[in-house]
Amino acid sequence: MHIGITGVSGFLGRQIVQVARSHGHVVTGFSRRIAAPVSGCASVRLFGPEMDMNGIEGVIHLAGEPILGLWTTEKRNKILRSRANGTRWVVDAIERTSRKPSALVSASGAGIYGNRADETLTESSSTGRSSFLAEVGAAWETEGSKAQAAGVRYVPIRIALALGKGGGAMKLMEPVFRFGFGGKLGTGKQWMSWIHVADVAELFLHALENASVSGPLNGSSPNPVRNEEFTKIMGEILKRPTFLAVPEFVLKTMLRDEASLVLDSQRIIPENALRTGFRFRFPDLRSALTDVLGTPGGPERRTANDER
């Protein structure tokens, strides 16, 4: 299949290109900067309102302003607008082509569920209402779902915390834990939903290649953990202490609304992925973090993330 991938130069895009190629597909990347070549892409086209989807048989849409970074008013606008407008550009481009791609598989975020304490969340659970990321997720999926009017199968993947070497949240977390400053955040009782980046990439291909997959997929491992357990396992793998807990009021004072990224509780189960036969390579946190962080004290292991 000839696959078009937006946001192809990013942390997830780079992984997905390699997995798509290993499945025998040809990839055209879409980027705001066509001059910058992306490893594994046969060609790169411009991402924007005039983007050209001709010849593309399946679309993976990842582009968007990074969520991490200080949430000033300007940053919030960029996060929201880049997803609503960007997804509209993709759907408009699909509508303009005479031969439509078979599917649009788009990134969405686990943040769409909001803050849900101990509730078990599947794709049939209601989405959240009162948080910024729930608002972003809703806007993103509303625009993406319009592809269905053009007869295109639409699958939003509600990605949880993606764990991979040197990218995403791990880029911030790993040095903190390696220096011995890791610790539980707030009460540590909040549920963290996570997924290994190798499983994210395979899940996008699973959604694209299987015509029976339609509607939202939770992009999270089947085994979410509480923040205190995540912290303990990180410390054990890195052989570092993790007793420096950060109280909730400190996080809220320092980060304001952005504290929701680490304090909100989401116990997400990937029901639709499992029901449609997806097999996770890293279903439990210890195996995922051992792969990402390498074996402590030993030579740096080759990880799934190095396969690029």
Residues contributing to the site for ligand NAP (CB under 6 A): 7-13, 31-33, 47, 62-67, 78, 82, 86, 107, 109, 159, 161-162, 168-169
- The nearer residue to ligand NAP, 218 or 290, going by C-beta atoms, is 218
- The nearer residue to ligand NAP, 164 or 182, going by C-beta atoms, is 164
d(CA 211, CA 1): 13
- The nearer residue to ligand NAP, 115 or 180, going by C-beta atoms, is 115
| Nearest distance from C-beta of residue 111 to ligand NAP, angstroms | 7
Roughly how many angstroms between the first and final C-alpha of the chain, as a whole number? Answer: 20
| Nearest distance from C-beta of residue 106 to ligand NAP, angstroms | 9
Residue nearest to ligand NAP (CB): 10
CA-based nearest residue to 90, from 59, 67, 119: 59
- The nearer residue to ligand NAP, 64 or 183, going by C-beta atoms, is 64
- The nearer residue to ligand NAP, 13 or 144, going by C-beta atoms, is 13
| Nearest distance from C-beta of residue 98 to ligand NAP, angstroms | 26
> Virtual CA dihedral for 226, 276, 200, 149, nearest 10 degrees?
-110
| Nearest distance from C-beta of residue 278 to ligand NAP, angstroms | 17
Cβ contacts of 308 within 8 Å, gap of 6 or more: 14, 15, 17, 18, 39, 40
| Nearest distance from C-beta of residue 62 to ligand NAP, angstroms | 4
- The nearer residue to ligand NAP, 112 or 237, going by C-beta atoms, is 112
- The nearer residue to ligand NAP, 193 or 231, going by C-beta atoms, is 193
Per-residue tokens: 121: 């969340």
| Nearest distance from C-beta of residue 243 to ligand NAP, angstroms | 27
- The nearer residue to ligand NAP, 56 or 162, going by C-beta atoms, is 162
The total of other beta-carbon atoms located within 10 Å of residue 199's CB is 26
| Nearest distance from C-beta of residue 63 to ligand NAP, angstroms | 4
| Nearest distance from C-beta of residue 244 to ligand NAP, angstroms | 24
